[in-house]
Chain A
């Protein structure tokens, strides 16, 4: 109504029974410690189970399939390295999503931001003036270039949201498509040549100087490179930023109650823009490390499908920067191991995708998991209290 004549709801009558509250608090403390990990874990169990039923339904043996999958994921040191290599870009992209999440923003554009970051790195790396620069200077420089690229591509939806209220879900998805199209053009175009490597037989950028590479940890194909270490360190940095700094406090306030944030004098619009830009920057950095850690050049289409996966991982980790690391590694490993599963059992890689989607469903609708396994609702974590759906922006 046009007038807000009251605040206390009929259901929350104040009867002054504070005694009842303290035993409730003790209850909560009990379930708190295992809750954040228990529910995602059980969600995985439930998803694997249902996935198994589906696999059986089309005539394959689920146990064989899962065993092949597991061996494909972590069955040998080389396979472990492969899984980690596959997971590396996921860490950065999903960290970007999780970070934006804490401010109540849904950044679906990690894919586009990652791509722009990678493109920026590939482009700057081929500038003539850097031809002789030693790797030790060039690598950080190129990483910065990628970060800036992602920062811009993430800043655009941030500014639009802050200034016009345009919902970032739509804008970031559109920007993903636009990025994919424009990068494809820039890299493939032969008349005129823009980024394309004239000597190459397939459309790709020229390689950055061979000295400008991230050191490899395990030399397989594709290599496990030190980019993963950068990403893991980034997770710790972000965790510190969100939980221990005043800026992080602002982010969390804006994500939980933007009205109170405004009252408290926090710059809500400024926070939105900064968070989206930083989020894009993280994704851009991830893209940059991929270029510098593997081939040194960009082929269009190589980063497809990182986007939605990163959202899934962020949700699985319940937007906790520490949780991103195991979640991303699990996710990437599953995709990596699916190849062996297909080889041995003939079951398509997409079966793994279905299990992943089911995991996500159960994590998001954790109520289902809790009902099945009869877990009581514990202390609400950051994930549950963040406010994403505030409508389409009109009228706030």
Chain B
């Protein structure tokens, strides 16, 4: 990041710090609040006085601002300070929110778990995007793939399994995954073989998905009578679920949620440690160079895009068969695009994209948590719409802030013309 950018952000933090110390902290209710770590009864707690913590964080922000102006020798420190301040932002919102609400405590472990849970489709979507883009194919149809998979999966569950038979649940999830793969194959045919502009191809697929799922819902799901059903149930991981505190909150959870971790790890492993992965990435950086070495660029792109589609299908299944049991029109509501933002934020690497996804999960979880807490500023209750808009706003900030520095795969978005 160039020095002007760092200073601008430093100044923003500085202003925020001054505001926190001077204006926010004095106006906070002085009663103490607590973070709890378990569900009641007997939750472990950590009490604090919000105004004290707010002042502390405010001072850290001010120090960060100072460090960005301190001169070249302090450069390393200023970067650490900026990173720390960025991270502190999140607990800050929780603290202020808690202080402004009528509740006295909030379960932070649960908040974390909710973030992870709500981040699941985003992380999976980001992995789907990763596979496609690392091979050089822009995929803005992740949203459409998720939606269509959610729709098709639930349609099968409702019509064949009455939305409550476990065996059909698993079959439906499998069908959802396959749907994602099929749609991805279509995207590949249109954009790789026919070389249509990849964004146009993506938009068309999104439109197709909306049309098809609307059709499925009104023609098949509603008539079947099973419009809401039984989603996947919790699995308790052996050993890990017996751990204190985290055992039954983190390690007892739903299958697709767990699969997210597997998918992220496997994606990293395959793309960076295997021959197949090297070739996929080469095709996204310089397909012509790969071609001169005998790599079949078209085949690699198809494979990568379809793998991405399968992952997107799994994300879709999460919506209609894990998070809840049911399908509503447009239920993905932008998740596919937020996943892309997470991918960009993570600079097209699995580990950082995963962190980005969790960040968005956190904003969603935070939003609903603050809504539950009933945060009020003076007499004015902050509307739920504001909280719901938080992920979207954060996405814009991320995309505006992150892109300039991030380098996508060099051949990303460029249709490939084979030599003849």
Q: Interface of A with B (CB < 8 Å)?
A: 10-11, 58, 106, 108, 160, 163-167, 169-171, 173-175, 177-178, 181-182, 184-185, 189, 191-192, 305, 308, 311-312, 315, 348-351, 353-354, 356-358, 360-361, 364-365, 367-368, 388-395
Contact = CB atoms under 8 A, between A and B. Distances in A.
Interface string B398-418: 011101111110001110000
B204 interface: yes
B196 A365 contact: yes
A361 B208 contact: yes
Given A178-B392, A191-B381, A354-B211, 11 more contacts: A160-B399, A170-B399, A175-B396, A177-B334, A181-B388, A182-B389, A312-B207, A356-B207, A357-B208, A360-B204, A394-B404
Contacts of A357: 204, 207-208, 210-212
Interface in B375-389: 380-381, 383, 385-386, 388-389
Contacts of A175: 392, 396
Contact of B207 (A171, A178, A311): A311
26 contacts: A160-B399, A165-B404, A169-B140, A169-B337, A170-B337, A175-B392, A177-B333, A177-B334, A177-B389, A184-B385, A185-B386, A348-B218, A350-B217, A353-B211, A353-B215, A356-B211, A361-B204, A364-B204, A365-B201, A368-B194, A389-B197, A391-B138, A391-B413, A392-B344, A392-B403, A394-B408
B400 A164 contact: yes
A211 B249 CA distance: 61
B403 A394 contact: yes
Interface of B: 138, 140, 190, 194-201, 203-204, 206-208, 210-212, 214-215, 217-219, 333-334, 337, 340-341, 344, 380-381, 383, 385-386, 388-389, 392-393, 395-396, 399-401, 403-408, 412-414, 419
A386 B219 CA distance: 39
Contacts of B208: 354, 357-358, 360-361
6 nearest A-B residue pairs (beta carbon):
A350-B215, A353-B211, A185-B385, A389-B413, A357-B208, A350-B214
Classify the secondary structure of A's interface with B: helix
B399 A166 contact: yes
B419 to A, nearest CB: 7
B211 A364 contact: no
Nearest to B133: A392
Nearest to A164: B400
**Main SS of chain B's interface residues?**
helix
B203 A166 contact: no
Contacts of B200: 315, 364, 388
Nearest to B415: A389
Nearest to B409: A391
Contacts of A393: 403-404
B211 to A, nearest CB: 4
Contacts of B211: 350, 353-354, 356-357
Given A181-B388, A185-B383, A160 B408 contact: no
A171 B200 CA distance: 17
Given A350-B211, A357-B211, A391-B138, A164 B401 contact: yes
B323 to A, nearest CB: 18
Nearest to A386: B197
B215 A367 contact: no
Contact of A364 (B196, B217, B392, B404): B196
B201 A170 contact: no
A391 B138 CA distance: 8
B334 A174 contact: yes
A315 B344 CA distance: 27
Contacts of B217: 350
Given A185-B383, A364-B201, A353 B210 contact: yes
A163 B4 CA distance: 14
A392 B401 CA distance: 13
Contacts of A395: 407-408
A122 B403 CA distance: 37
A164 B341 contact: no
A394 B406 contact: yes
A121 B401 CA distance: 33
Contacts of A191: 381
